[in-house]
Structure 1
Amino acid sequence: GRSRAGTFWADRTPVHEAARRGEIRQLQQLIESGACVNALTYDSITPLHEASLRGQAQCVKMLLDAGAQVDARNIDGSTPLCDACASGSVECVRLLLAHGAKVNPPLYTASPLHEACMNGSSECVQLLIDVGANLEAHDCHFGTPLHVACARQHLRCAKLLLQAGAQVNAAKLHETALHHAAKARCAALVRLLVEFGADVNARDNRGRKPSDYSGNGGAAARCFQFYERTPLSLAQLCRLAVRRAAGQRGQHKISKLQIPPRLIRFLSYD
């Protein structure tokens, strides 16, 4: 990498290059000849960051086995797990978690769960939820992971977060996920959020309701017209009340209630 012009490339090592390109034999030879697996670029990027961001699972494994720091921070504060989630590589995410990567690293930036939601990788989202990712992790720019999933119109990711107990009315500058769904004019997202208890009358910092952003006509606008004049059914209100009583930590207990399976499916939005 040293022959390339510009400072960005000047400090990259052959280990960085091999990890980025997924050159397994080359990487093996470098490790065996004693090359440093924790070498940093000017931006504090390690070879493990490179391999994770490109979804190079075999390289990730080799680097970890050779002593790569699993929670190394780059200049933005991102860890390799953040990068693996950004790439949507479930295999890399599994490897990093198995080597003790923190699912909730103390970041000022987007968490691994934010990154998975941005990428729309529902499998990564579920994996992170299963190992205890903070559903309310707050990024000053993006808000919560639910805000990200809705802004990017990743319906499956949004549903997984909500089923796991994410706060549907969490606000970022008073803007809720429903405001994002309205701006995206995505009727399916609007329906999903309202079924999980989203407030159609929530006001953002400009005093506007979600429907103010849904345009004239179109399926999303029609959804809002219906929801603004039609209250939720008693069955839906009961479902929300039960889930609220269970709390985020108790969502998994709903499946163990001594009630008919059909009711459990209803309560779990299954």
Structure 2
Amino acid sequence: NAKDKYGWNALHFLCRFNSNSNLIDAIQLLIQLGIDVHAKNNGWNALLYLCAYNSNSNLIGAIRLLIQLGIDVNAKDDGGRNTLHYLCRFNSNSNLTDAFQLLIQRGIDVNAKDDDGLNALHYLCHLNSNSDLIDAIRLCIQLGIDVNVKSNDGRNALHYLCCNILNSNLIDAIRLLIQLGIPVNAKDVSGWNALHFLCRFNSNSNLIDAIRLLIREGIDVNAKDKYGENALHSLCQLNSNSDLIDAIRLFIQLGIDVYAKDKFGKNALHHLCGNKYNNNLIDAIHFFIQLGIPVVSDGNDARFLLRWNNEIKNKDEILKLLDEAALV
């Protein structure tokens, strides 16, 4: 039962780091030797470590064993996260839904929230890369999770899903959440809707299809956050998608106000020139210039923003384009 200076005992280390086929035997041996199965470290017990870091074929048996030994299935870490939160966040293997059902059967609170107001569905949608994501979402709802619950910052499961850059099932998952009744135009406390989140964080090949789907489902393409930024601004600020120009063209086809400015007077061209995540912006910048978006407006100069952008390629060539456009 010795602990290190951080409060870890041998069972914690075993459940955190051992993913071998002998895991269950090793747990049983430690129990026979008298280790305290209930010991915690900043709220973490062995079950939390197991579900956060172990997703091998022995997971179900190990969970069942620890619960049979009386471990607290509803234990939370110092951030209010329980075993279900960690399972949905980190386990992307085929045993996810079986582990989920086992924990529910053994009494875990399916609707528990962490200190930030996130529940298991939020974690599942935000960070899980499981190919069975659709089945896992359905299971969450069947087991009683409210699809419309929001976190402390007003974000729902659709918002978190649109931040998910790991899952290839994004399109089907978006469609499912909307079918389950989640409001497509819901906003968080900053005024972001699902389209803002998608354009800010998703640079995958499914970006274009996801934008089309949200528009088809009725999302407001011109919605602005509390700073006056629309989805095109979000796209231009941070998106690293190699098809950025195609996404911009799509937004224009769908009726977004390409000339819109935020509350600081910045337009889409200004936001684009400050993008440090997409190193090939010349086509998009040239396109905006052709559309007549001002290089200089309301005290903002796209050239100034570009000079501070050390990640961009073709900087001299782009500056020349901007200089010529500014003269016009």
The TM-score range, normalised by the shorter chain, is 0.7 to 0.9
- Cα 1:115–1:142 change in 2 (3 A) is farther
Partner in structure 1 of residue 13 of structure 2: 17
Flag structure 2 segments of 5+ consecutive residues without an equivalent: 237-242, 257-328
1:152 alignment partner, SS class: coil
Q: Contact 1:146–1:166 (CA<8 Å) still a contact in 2?
A: yes
Q: 2:158 aligns with which of 119, 137, 146?
A: 146
Question: How far apart, in 2, do the equivalents of 1:68 and 1:158 lie?
Answer: 36
1:166 aligns with 2:166: no
Partner in structure 2 of residue 49 of structure 1: 48
Structure 1 range deviating more: 133-142 or 204-213: 133-142
Structure 1 range deviating more: 181-190 or 197-206: 181-190
Question: How far apart, in 1, do the equivalents of 2:217 and 2:9 lie?
Answer: 49
Deviations 1:223-247 (A, max 9, x none): 2222217xxxxxxxxxxxxxxxxxx
Partner in structure 2 of residue 224 of structure 1: 251
Q: Contact 1:142–1:148 (CA<8 Å) still a contact in 2?
A: no
% identity of equivalent residues: 25
Pairs aligned (count): 224
Flag structure 1 segments of 5+ consecutive residues without an equivalent: 230-270
| Residue identity matched to 1:36 | D
- Cα 1:63–1:86 change in 2 (3 A) is same
| Residue identity matched to 2:193 | T
The structure with the larger Rg is: 2
Shift in Å, 1:72: 0.9
Partner in structure 2 of residue 69 of structure 1: 72
Q: Which runs of 4+ in 1 moved over 4 A?
A: 1-4
Shift in Å, 1:47: 0.5
Deviations 1:124-143 (A, max 9, x none): 32321221212233223582
| Residue identity matched to 2:119 | S
Q: Contact 1:108–1:139 (CA<8 Å) still a contact in 2?
A: no
Shift in Å, 1:171: 0.9
Question: How far apart, in 1, do the equivalents of 2:137 and 2:115 lie?
Answer: 20
| Residue identity matched to 2:230 | K
Q: Contact 2:15–2:46 (CA<8 Å) still a contact in 1?
A: yes
| Residue identity matched to 2:253 | F
- Cα 1:2–1:67 change in 2 (3 A) is closer
Partner in structure 1 of residue 36 of structure 2: 36
Structure (1/2) with the larger helix percentage: 1
Q: CA RMSD in A?
A: 2.4
Shift in Å, 1:77: 0.2
Deviations 1:116-171 (A, max 9, x none): 11223314323212212122332235822211110224414333322211121111
Q: Contact 2:110–2:145 (CA<8 Å) still a contact in 1?
A: yes
Partner in structure 2 of residue 117 of structure 1: 125
